[in-house]
Amino acid sequence: MATYRIAIDGMGGDHAPHSVIKGIDLFLSSNDSKDHNHFLIFGSQKELHPLIQQTKYLKKCYDIIHCDQIVENHTKPLNALRSFRESSMARAVKAVQEGEADAVISSGNTGAYMAFSKVILKTFSFIDRPAIPAVIPSVKGFTVMLDLGANIECNSQNLVQFAVLGHIYAQEYLKMDKPRIGLLNIGVEDIKGHVVLQETSDFLSTMSGLNYIGFVEGNDITNGNVDVVVTDGFTGNVALKSIEGTAHLITHFMKESVLASWRGKIGYTIAKPAFDSFKKKSNPSLYNGAVFLGLKKIAVKSHGGASDIGFASAVRVTTDMLKRHLTEKIEQCDYFKELIF
């Protein structure tokens, strides 16, 4: 039986602090492990205390650390580093560095959170830039895609590091032995993408321990033919948002078509449990929570718009990754030793 001490930015996110507090309690209510969890919640004592008093489980395992400052959504990373050192976000990150907590979670400003995490928790020496992965449902299960972070222009060294980080993340998060790794590209004849992608692909092909399957295309992200999709942060962001938009569009079309006729309405009423199970399956909240990969400690980013269900998922990801010793596995991974360019 282990104890996991998690630092929480209580004020980060569009629906904070409500969604944060309710989310932690939701996680605790459904947590069937024997492990003990303790939450260090950073933010306004006045706002947090009454909310926590209303919870069933969290009120037994928390501390509030009062902070006046909150990092706003529009605060730029450098400005955050300079002027928001006493914010709930910065202090939650610092708690991990100072050994008071094992991991940190925030739904706040991604750029600022990444900046604090890099500066305070540090990146492993063999990693140039930490990456943000996303877990996306696919026809056959889930796909890890990375980077979804601020790495907009990447060289092949960055992409190879992302591939190895994705490999480890898929092993721990998706519990796969030999995740299939693909490099996102386009299938236009003759011009198979940028030179950087060619170089990356050539290098990945030489790494015997990785299950590198070559170039994949946008539709492969969701078709179950690959487990880890490697790309730069720009393309990854566009792909992820396109996927989210389309999921919304198709659900909208479906609803519109079904509700347009009485037959559709009756059929829908009868099939409602099926629709509910579909809705649940395609609910992005259930996959919320992304580890900043490559840092020496676990920092988990929860979506800015995360609901309580979403925040509960982020807490689950955090305890899961602590349990599976993700950062130790990254530290000890032999592949990175091969990565001398």
Q: Which of residues 246-285 bind a second copy (CB under 8 A)?
A: 246-254, 256-258, 260-261, 263-264, 266-275, 277-278, 281-282
Our finding on whether 237 is near a second copy (CB under 8 A) is yes
Distances (CA, A) of 72 to 90, 103, 265: 12, 22, 44
CB atoms inside a 10 Å sphere around CB 339: 17
Our finding on whether 139 is near a second copy (CB under 8 A) is yes
Q: Which of 32, 189, 328, 334 binds a second copy (CB under 8 A)?
A: 189
Span interacting with a second copy, options 167-175, 237-245, 284-292, 306-314, rule CB under 8 A: 237-245
Q: Which of 68, 78, 214, 332 binds a second copy (CB under 8 A)?
A: 78
Lookup: tokens for 93: 């990150």
Q: Which of 36, 56, 76, 325 binds a second copy (CB under 8 A)?
A: 76
Strands (E), the chain: 3-9, 36-43, 62-66, 103-106, 133-138, 141-146, 180-184, 211-216, 228-230, 290-291, 298-301
Our finding on whether 214 is near a second copy (CB under 8 A) is no
Span interacting with a second copy, options 23-31, 211-219, 318-326, 330-338, rule CB under 8 A: 211-219
d(CA 156, CA 198): 9
Distance in Å, CB of 285 to a second copy, minimum: 16
Q: Which of 19, 110, 201, 313 binds a second copy (CB under 8 A)?
A: 110
Distance in Å, CB of 111 to a second copy, minimum: 4
Distance in Å, CB of 115 to a second copy, minimum: 9
User: Which residues, in sequence order, are CB contacts of 76 under 8 Å at separation 6+?
Assistant: 111, 112
Distances (CA, A) of 332 to 143, 146, 182, 326, 329: 24, 21, 23, 10, 5
User: Which residues, in sequence order, are CB contacts of 276 under 8 Å at separation 6+?
Assistant: none
Distance in Å, CB of 251 to a second copy, minimum: 7
Our finding on whether 242 is near a second copy (CB under 8 A) is yes
Q: Could you give the angle at which helices 18-30 and 308-323 cross, rounded to 10 degrees?
A: 50
Distance in Å, CB of 54 to a second copy, minimum: 33
Our finding on whether 188 is near a second copy (CB under 8 A) is yes
| Residue 289: Cβ-neighbour burial (10 angstroms; 0-12, 13-18, 19+) | buried
Our finding on whether 178 is near a second copy (CB under 8 A) is no
Q: Which of 243, 290, 293, 317 binds a second copy (CB under 8 A)?
A: 243
Lookup: tokens for 269: 């009423």
Q: Which is nearer to a second copy, 29 or 278 (CB)?
A: 278
> Which 289-318 positions form the footprint of a second copy (CB under 8 A)?
none
Lookup: tokens for 303: 């979506």
